[in-house]
């Protein structure tokens, strides 16, 4: 049995997660709105129903964004580690 220790910084892990989300979004029909100003996260009955940018509203059931877009809806519950360590065990 051979063991490998992989050390990845936070930026590498975030990049990998973004790639995974991008690929899954392409398969399941998700929409990205890149480089568009967000004027409002549209809420109805305390649930997200869309995002408004100018006169356009993109309807949705979920919004994944930076917490600065929804400061009144976010609270700090922990802290992100600067270094994630993955221990992979491979059989030879």
Of 67 and 3, the structure prediction assigns the larger pLDDT to 67
| H helix or E strand, kind and range, residue 5 | strand 2-9
Q: Distance between CA atoms of 47 and 43, rounded to whole angstroms?
A: 5
30-50 tens-digit pLDDT: 877 778 888 989 999 989 999
CB 49 within 8 A of CB 59: yes
> Region 3-24: what's the mean pLDDT?
74
Report whether pLDDT(84) > 80.
no
Q: Distance between CA atoms of 41 and 7, rounded to whole angstroms?
A: 37
Domain locations in the chain as residue ranges: 2-69
Of 49 and 3, the structure prediction assigns the larger pLDDT to 49
């Amino acid at each position: 049995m051979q063991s490998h220790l992989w050390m990845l910084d936070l930026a590498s892990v975030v990049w990998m997660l973004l790639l995974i989300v991008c690929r899954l979004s392409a398969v399941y029909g998700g929409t990205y709105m890149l480089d568009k100003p967000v004027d409002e996260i549209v809420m109805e009955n305390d649930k997200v129903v869309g995002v408004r940018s100018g006169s356009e509203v993109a309807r949705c059931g979920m919004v994944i964004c930076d917490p600065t877009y929804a400061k009144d809806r976010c609270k700090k519950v922990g802290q992100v580690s600067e270094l994630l360590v993955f221990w992979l065990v491979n059989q030879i």
